[in-house]
Structure 1
Amino acid sequence: MPEKSKNNLIDAAVKVRENAYCPFSQFHVGAAVLTDTGEIYGGCNVENQSFPCGWCAEVSAIAAAVSHGHRNFVGLAVSTNAKDFVAPCGRCRQAFAEFTQPEATVYLVNCDGHVKETTMRDILPLSFDLNECQRSKGK
């Protein structure tokens, strides 16, 4: 990924983290996806008193991009207010896998602004692929 795209993607995730609504966990998360057309969409986590009804930052960013007609992502950045690097939860990994390739770049950003670079394949090596299931029918 070009350095400018990388920096813009990471900056978007860090900036949108400020909008996180997390009165219960105080765990602020911002995420941004980079589409194959170069557009960036961000999202933050939103908690709810009915705990299972909240949503993650990654899903917020994915939904924003999909809502604007995008279906192919080339990168994801996730920024948290934690000292350690925090990877997306399983649900978010699978959601991102739905719209990207295994080689897609994933950036994890901690509260100090340090960045860890990885790939979709590394964070979800055995993603569920409905196409594989459909191809294997009848075998």
Structure 2
Amino acid sequence: MLLDQEDFHLIDVAKSTIERLYIDGKHHIGAAVRTKSGKIYSAVHLEAYIGRVSVCAEAIVLGKAISEGESDFDTIVAVRHPDPSQDHQEIEVVSPCGICRELISDYGKDTYVILKREDKYIKMKINELLPEKYTR
């Protein structure tokens, strides 16, 4: 599915969040989620020296929205800030990891996820990224 202006705005919010809060070795992923009510929340991930303690930006942004009383999610996007040593310094949309796919589908089975495919953005329902998910 192609993106609309609201989706491009969501990407811009995620990018501006990581641009503003980027710290090498601490925060390199930003995320933004739009709820079905139209509110947008954004956050960065928390890096830890012991990797298993790190928390993805998607988890933090969902928690932030849930903490504000939101529970119906429309679209989510994550972006990655490049390391300072990389030649290419553009912030790029990235696909959620497997754990985040599980989390997004647990809290919003109809949520769209924005992805970058080649030179264009698309959005897919989370259940397309996590097919045949187990059920409770």
Same fold (TM over 0.5): yes
Distance 1:21 1:56 in 2: 15
Query: Quick check: 1:117 aligned with 2:123?
Result: yes
Map of 1:17 onto structure 2: 18
Count of residue correspondences: 125
Task: Tell me which of the two structures has the higher relative contact order, counting C-alpha pairs closer than 8 angstroms and 6 or more residues apart.
Answer: 2
Distance 1:90 1:5 in 2: 26
1:34·1:75 contact (CA, 8 Å) conserved in 2? yes
Map of 1:54 onto structure 2: 54
Q: Which runs of 5+ in 2 are unaligned?
A: 83-87
Distance 1:15 1:59 in 2: 18
Letter in 1 for 2:45: N
2:32·2:42 contact (CA, 8 Å) conserved in 1? yes
1:32·1:58 contact (CA, 8 Å) conserved in 2? yes
- Cα deviation for residue 48 of structure 1 reads 1.2
**Identity of matched residues, %:** 26
1:17·1:28 contact (CA, 8 Å) conserved in 2? yes
Letter in 1 for 2:12: D
Letter in 2 for 1:7: F
Query: Quick check: 1:127 aligned with 2:127?
Result: no
Distance 1:57 1:74 in 2: 17
Query: Quick check: 1:98 aligned with 2:106?
Result: yes
1:51–1:21 CA distance, 2 compared to 1 (3 A): farther
CA RMSD of aligned residues (A): 2.8
Indicate the SS of the match to 1:96.
helix
Q: Which structure has the greater CA radius of gyration?
A: 1
- Cα deviation for residue 85 of structure 1 reads 5.8
